Amino acid sequence: MTIPWFSANIPGPKQARVVTPEIAAKILSKVGRKMMLCGSGIKGQKIGKEPIQKYILDLSKEMSVVVAPSVLKDFLEMGAEPVAKGVVEVTNLLRDAEWRGFDGKGNYDMVAYLGFPYYLESQMLSVLKHFSDIKTMSLGRFYQPNADYSFDNLKEKEWEKNFENLISLLRRK
Amino acid sequence: MKIPVDVSVVHEGERIRKEDMYVELGGPKVSSKGELVRVRKPGEIRDGNVEVEGPDFDKLKEGGRYPFAIFVEVAGKNVEEDLEAVIERRIHDYCNYVEGFMHLNQRYDIWCRLSKKSYERGFNTLKYLGQALITLFKAELPIIEKIQVTFITDEKKVEAFVNDARKIYEARDARARALSEEEVDTFYGCVLCQSFAPTHFCVITPDRISLCGSINWFDGRAAARVDPKGPNFAIPKGELIDEVNGEYSGVNKVVKERSQGETERFYLHSIFNFPHTSCGCFESIAFYIPEVDGVGVVHRDYIGETVLGVPFSTLATQTGGGKQVEGFLGMAIEYMRSPKFLQADGGWNRMVWLPKSVKERVIDDIPAELRDKIATEEDATDIAALKGFLKERGHPVVERWREVEAVEVPELEVMPVGAPGGIKIILQNAKIHAEKVIIKKIK
Amino acid sequence: MKGTKFKIDEFESDLIKATGLEITVGRIVEEEWEEILGPTPMPSVTDLRKWDFALLNRYKPMYAPLCDLCCLCTYGKCDLSDGKKGACGIDIGAQQGRIVLLACCIGAAAHGGHARHIVEHLIEEHGDMPIDMGKNVEVEAPLVRLIAGIMPKKLSDLLEPLEYAEGELMHSLSATHTGQEGYFTDFESKALHVSMTDQLLMEIADVAQISALGFPKGDPGAPLVDIGFGSIDTKKPVILCIGHNVVPGAEVINYLRDHDLYDKVEVAGICCTAHDLTRYDKGAKIVGPLSKQLQFVRTGIADVIIVDEQCVRADVLQEARKTGAAVIATNDKICLGLPDRTKDSPKDVIDNLLGGAPGALILDAEKVGEVAVRTAIKLSETRKRRALNVVKEAKKCIQCGLCIRECHNNLDIPRGMEKAAKGDLSLLSEIYELCIGCGRCENVCSKEIPIVSLLGGAAKEITRKERYKVRSGRGPIQDTEIRNVGSPIVLGEIPGVVAFVGCPNYAGSSKEIAEMAEIFLSRRYIVTTSGCAAMDIAMYKDEEGKTLYEKYPGNFDAGCLSNVGSCVSNAHIAGAAIKIASIFAHRNLRGNYEEIADYILNRVGAVGVAWGAMSQKAASIATGFNRLGVPVILGPRGAKYRRTYLGRPDKSEDWMVYNARTGEKVQISPSPEYLLYVAESKEEAIVSIAKNCIRPNDTTKGRQIKLTHYIDLHKRYFGKMPEDIAMYIRTEADIPITLKAEIMKILKAEKWEPRITPDPTLLERLCRKKEVK
């Protein structure tokens, strides 16, 4: 069993399944309504030479993207205007099955988290794990046991490769 | 023309230090400076026009200090000359909204600075400032239909301007002083404090400023003109019911409505019977001193103990929250300058004690023959000393003591501060067990 | 008088005739207080449940379990995931409420133990002194008046509310037992309850020590005192006090004064004891907040370490041992396994400590004073401070990376070590700035490198220069200061009150809190602070070399920074909010909690910020503020408290209040939006603070300025106009004049309709029938 990045962060018997980009892409592509939440940690993050924002915008053609308000400026500068809301606030909306979503079409089936402080993401995943039917996936560098699916603990380069791979798989289909 | 710096309330607190200033306009080191608002006929104004007479920012030497005048001319159906002073005071606020522009003081005393940073960002002409002023005036005071602004930096012209302006300030002040309740048919109400004190509201007349000291009759009039449904509104004064107490039918009607039925009548110029209510931000409090049958006043900034042996903060708890409390009246210090100041109670003839700093502030408004008869903390810090002082100086209230001895006056229900009046036993969670309680009918 | 019993054999009046009537009275008290007793003096656990439910209905708890299990009884462990219930029947939601309640009980107990000790000690040492909060403080103890319904005159009057709070704590804690409370809202209601008593306990402790120990009494000009490693004169013997209870430290100062040693020994403190030492004597030094504890102990500067209670590292004895410092435990809460030397002669204890004993437990503060001073003087002569070779130690690192996984802040210690091994200490020094000093990295280091010491060693040049000024804790806010700000608040000149409080468990740089404070100071908010946050605000200088305390006055006023003092001084911040209701609206405080909390929630635009909240005390402090109607914003680490209270602005039905003028239910802006929120970043917190200062009662001018700041900060940090702006505009007069055109366009697009500004309340009983004759 994979050990959480913060080794003491063992929630209990139910822990995330470790996924490769291939499996992650497969799972995501099967899901109906999905959303990706991007945290403050994406600031300055690059995939190869490209800013990660470019990849996220690419992905926004496949799923709803919500970003932390503190990184909204980066997107505005690129001419995009994703929904911006604090992760605690969004998670609070998500746990309400009756919530109609940002587009008014209903709540989401799966939510992916990326770029949050490890412990904050862990706690938000825990909310949805216990208080919603939404499936969750953690796309960060570190294994998050409270998600349903998570990348393994990865070295920086490995993770970049994984992420790039995931995006291209999702875009290909 | 897009203003190259931000214009917002958030810049209001900004101070520009000497090292950061590009130029200084007006200020203590320059003899001529001033600002003025005048009401014109619509035809006399080129709406939106900004003129600069004399060298503009880009022609002024960095680090220099220059004479400066701001002249704002306005027109509008509801803009009358009485509102000039109110509009003029907005110049200060609006100038400070401009990022990197600082404005201090008013009238012939203005002191402005432009920051280097804002100059470098392209704020190189007073036209931007004028543009900002015009936009802000029109946004906040839609009664202004037309407006033009002239800045003067030419020394001779500023001098001439200020000379003229001084005459206008004087005339304006004289008019404000002369204006009285008798002369107007409308008072103004203020319910701003209801956000914290839901049943309090202020009646503002030419003889009575709001008790926080922030809103006078002209301010009330201007605000009510701009937004009649807003927190400042007109009160038709109605019939004069009682001249001495300052009771008006129009006021009483609004009192009932606006106090949510808590209060029925106001005596505008008395501390007794039906005094004006208070919120919590009154500048000072007048308090009845039964032992000498006189009235004392203490203001918020007075730290020591009053002649009653308690500080302002203790006295202040006696009133407030829109409650009508006889013997205590929250009020503005400025009200002491009113010719109707507590006239029903004897006005200055009834005033026996006030802090020295307040006495100094209002000394010119104290009748000359009473000035040395009113005690301060230097003369009396307790009732005994106060009695002695009043007697020694021959204060008019001393006469009242004799009257009291001769005639039985109805006792006023005034709660003495700090002195308990009997005891009360409350049984809390007491368990009383009675085997049998028999209730018998009395024949 | 206590325990009076009387019997009336026969009694007859016009109305009643009684025979064999027995009356027992618990206590007879003389009372001069005229104020009418409100509905809930000394409320029981359930007396304010209705109010709690009103809050919880709007601000529904969101739970983020830190653990899916329950391990509290021998039925367990029980796995509560996937909707499973524990063997006792509890579900995961209730279990979270239970853990939150437990945390709040622990927090309240810490302040309660502190209060109990200090009140009894002060009465014993100083006699039953009158309560004196200084000039212009009419309401001496607003929380005691509000919650307990009594007006304390002397120290012993504090014993009754103290006893009450202790009783409530017992009832609340008992509800966490297996097989007691079973539903989350009731756990929350109890958490709110016990946290309310926590506020009461804090006030009792601080009121007692202000009265008896001569602390500043609501003084905005309380002295500026030294803070920082560099402010300590290492040439002198150094006594370090850690914790929250000032009594032993004060006795050290007394001993120094009495023996002409005052200038010869340095007395320094860490955490709230430090604040209170400077309140006792402005010559005392503050090392810094809790986060500096391990770092400073490791420097070996302290010759004697006195620990009292709360926030002391459990391993302080082992750590002190490494440097040869002697530890004196002084409080029954922290005995550290040390022998009890309370009854021994000071000489014996000193000899023992000088002879190499690691420490002593002395439960007599006066004796602590003597032993600490004499030991420190002697030890400083013989003890050598060991220098650490950072480069040599760093070379031991094998880059296993275990340390980084233990680090809360994911700090890249391995890279710092790599550079340091080559003689470049810059990265380790940078890491020092971000380190919260927990020392977990060392526990896992496969090479047993003293990483925390290395960070300190690398940053030595910086820390030696760390010398700042903080304003000593002023205690309560004066009534007159509150009166002063009334008019500027309604006239829209002051946008709100922001309180920076709590521990230093920051997710980023400790400088962030000072940066946030300055943003609101420069915007002329009223800024107030306490505890470790007040210290971190001091440890930052502007380009002119000034700290915020030197730059901004210590008043409770626009653009002023008031440090109320230590953790227990937080009560004065709550007290200020309460006093607004009594001063402006003349609302009775006495036993009138619900009405006052309703007033504060709907009218007082105050926000608490606990950016580095760590402890259970911080949990109860925040929850106590919540019950009183004050929203609190936590840093990202706050998510580990497991519970937030979040409103739903998208549900208009959640934002209805009674208009007390008419009794009708009316729509308000969603404000305050949260009661307890966790912000991911500094930027998010800043914008959230501005927004949560909005209240339904705002005057139009007040709303204008609040919105101006909200919009300006939103644009500055997030790059655009907030999307919810229309929700906050009631009438056109609410629109900031500089943004009129822009906002009118938005309103038009959103088909906005004007609304009235009510006299807002959640309590139907407060509605007035409009009677206009």
C:362-421 residues touching chain A, CB 8 A cutoff = 405-406, 408, 410
Phi, psi at B218, each rounded to 5°: -70, -40
Q: What is the pLDDT of residue B407?
A: 54
Q: Are residues C410 and C335 in the same domain?
A: no
Nearest residue of chain B to residue C486 (CA atoms): B281
Q: Are residues C295 and C420 in the same domain?
A: no
Q: Are residues C196 and C234 in the same domain?
A: no
Among C160, C138, C136, residue whose Cα is nearest residue C149: C160
Kindly list the domain boundaries of chain A, sorted by start residue: 17-172
Q: Are residues C537 and C424 in the same domain?
A: no
ipTM of the complex: 0.97
Q: Are residues B161 and B194 in the same domain?
A: no
> Of the given ranges (B142-146, B316-320, C292-296), which has the lowest mean pLDDT?
B316-320
Mean pLDDT of A134-157: 97
Q: Are residues C181 and C258 in the same domain?
A: no
Q: What is the pLDDT of residue B356?
A: 95
CATH code of the domain in which C600 resides? 3.40.50.2030
Helix (H, G, I), strand (E, B) or coil at A171: helix
Q: Are residues C57 and C153 in the same domain?
A: yes
The parent domain of residue B156 ranges over 9-178
Q: What is the pLDDT of residue C66?
A: 96
**Cα-based angle B89, B94, B97 (whole degrees, multiple of 5):** 145
Q: What is the pLDDT of residue B418?
A: 47
**B442 in a domain, yes or no?**
no
Token digits of residue B443: 């024949």
**Superfamily (CATH H level) for A17-172:** TPP-binding domain (3.40.50.1220)
Residues 6 or more apart from B45 whose CB is under 8 A from it?
B73, B74, B75, B146, B147, B148
> Strand locations in B257-378, DSSP E?
284-289, 294-299, 328-331, 351-353
Contact between C480 and B300 using a beta-carbon 8 Å cutoff = yes
C:500-539 residues touching chain A, CB 8 A cutoff = 507
Mean pLDDT of B207-222: 92
Q: Are residues B332 and B288 in the same domain?
A: yes
Among C635, C607, C682, residue whose Cα is nearest residue C503: C635
pLDDT-based confidence at residue B424 (cuts at 50, 70, 90):
low
Average pLDDT taken over every residue of chain B:
90
Contact between A11 and C718 using a beta-carbon 8 Å cutoff = no
Q: Are residues B127 and B205 in the same domain?
A: no
Residues 6 or more apart from C716 whose CB is under 8 A from it?
none
- Alpha helices per DSSP H over chain A: 21-30, 52-59, 72-77, 87-94, 118-131, 156-172
Q: Which residue in A10, A38, A53, A70 has the most chain C C-beta atoms within 10 A of its own C-beta, making it the best mutation to test that interface?
A: A70
**Residue from the list B194, B213, B432 with its beta carbon closest to the beta carbon of C23:** B432
Q: Are residues B101 and B140 in the same domain?
A: yes
Q: Are residues B193 and B145 in the same domain?
A: no
Q: How far apart are CA C242 and CA C78, in angstroms?
A: 38
Residue B93 backbone zone (phi > 0: left; psi -120 to 50: alpha; other: beta): alpha
| Domain stop point among C347, C364, C382 | C382
**C669 in a domain, yes or no?**
yes
**B346 in a domain, yes or no?**
yes
pLDDT-based confidence at residue B177 (cuts at 50, 70, 90):
confident
Helix/strand/coil (H/E/C) assignment for every residue in B123-154:
CCCHHHHHHHHHHHHHHHCCCCCEEEEEEECC
B:108-147 residues touching chain C, CB 8 A cutoff = 135-136, 139-140
Among C581, C582, C527, C517, residue whose Cα is nearest residue C557: C527
Token digits of residue C437: 């000093």
Q: Are residues C274 and C171 in the same domain?
A: no
> Strand locations in B326-377, DSSP E?
328-331, 351-353
Task: Say whether residue A2 is in contact with chain C using an 8 A CB cutoff.
Answer: no
Q: Are residues B147 and B198 in the same domain?
A: no
**B174 in a domain, yes or no?**
yes
Q: pLDDT by residue (tens digit) across B24-76? A: 999 999 999 999 999 999 999 999 999 999 999 999 999 999 999 999 999 99
**C30 in a domain, yes or no?**
no
Tell me how far apart the 2 most distant CA atoms of chain C are, in Å.
100
**B441 in a domain, yes or no?**
no
Q: Are residues B68 and B213 in the same domain?
A: no
Residue A166 backbone zone (phi > 0: left; psi -120 to 50: alpha; other: beta): alpha
Q: What is the pLDDT of residue C122?
A: 97
Buried/exposed C304-325: b ≥16 CB within 10 Å, e otherwise:
bbbbbbbbbbeebbebbeebbb
**B105 in a domain, yes or no?**
yes
Interface size B-C, in CB pairs within 8 Å, comes to 173
Q: Are residues B101 and B211 in the same domain?
A: no
Task: Say whether residue C634 is in contact with chain A using an 8 A CB cutoff.
Answer: no
Q: Are residues B192 and B172 in the same domain?
A: no
State the DSSP code for B375.
Answer: B
B and A touch with 3+ CB pairs <8 Å, answer no
CATH code of the domain in which C60 resides? 1.20.1270.30
CATH code of the domain in which B112 resides? 3.30.1650.10
CA distance C242 to chain B (A): 37
Q: What is the pLDDT of residue C487?
A: 87
C166 neighbors C74 (Cβ within 8 angstroms):
no
Low-confidence stretches of chain C (pLDDT beneath 70): 1-6, 14-18, 21-31, 769-773
Q: What is the pLDDT of residue B427?
A: 59
In this prediction, what percent of chain B has a pLDDT beyond 90?
A: 72
Q: Tell how strand B50-53 and strand B101-104 pair up.
A: unpaired
C:135-154 residues touching chain B, CB 8 A cutoff = 135-139
**C40 in a domain, yes or no?**
no
Q: Are residues B163 and B259 in the same domain?
A: no
The parent domain of residue C480 ranges over 471-764
Mean pLDDT of B172-179: 88
Q: Are residues C509 and C582 in the same domain?
A: yes
To which residue do tokens 């609410």 refer?
C734
**C26 in a domain, yes or no?**
no
Q: How far apart are CA C764 and CA C656, in angstroms?
A: 12
In chain B, residues with a C-beta closer than 8 Å to the C-beta of C576 are none
Q: Are residues C609 and C733 in the same domain?
A: yes
In chain A, residues with a C-beta closer than 8 Å to the C-beta of C681 are 40, 68, 70
| Domain stop point among C355, C382, C409 | C382
**Residue from the list C18, C37, C660 with its beta carbon closest to the beta carbon of B434:** C18
Q: Are residues B160 and B209 in the same domain?
A: no
- When divided into structural domains, chain B yields a total of 2
Task: Say whether residue C81 is in contact with chain A using an 8 A CB cutoff.
Answer: yes
Q: Are residues B352 and B227 in the same domain?
A: yes
Q: Are residues C335 and C436 in the same domain?
A: no
Q: How far apart are CA B249 and CA B266, in angstroms?
A: 10
**B254 in a domain, yes or no?**
yes
Q: Tell how strand C665-667 and strand C656-659 pair up.
A: antiparallel
Q: Are residues C435 and C496 in the same domain?
A: no
Q: What is the pLDDT of residue C772?
A: 41
**C455 in a domain, yes or no?**
no
Q: pLDDT by residue (tens digit) across B239-297? A: 999 999 999 999 999 999 888 888 999 999 999 999 999 888 899 999 999 999 999 99
C548 neighbors C517 (Cβ within 8 angstroms):
yes
Residues 6 or more apart from C492 whose CB is under 8 A from it?
C699, C700, C701, C702, C703, C704, C705
**C5 in a domain, yes or no?**
no
Contact between C740 and B139 using a beta-carbon 8 Å cutoff = yes
Q: Are residues C55 and C131 in the same domain?
A: yes
- When divided into structural domains, chain C yields a total of 4
pLDDT-based confidence at residue B409 (cuts at 50, 70, 90):
very low
Q: What is the pLDDT of residue B436?
A: 57
Residue C114 backbone zone (phi > 0: left; psi -120 to 50: alpha; other: beta): alpha
**C616 in a domain, yes or no?**
yes
Q: pLDDT by residue (tens digit) across A25-65? A: 999 999 999 999 999 999 999 998 999 999 999 999 889 99
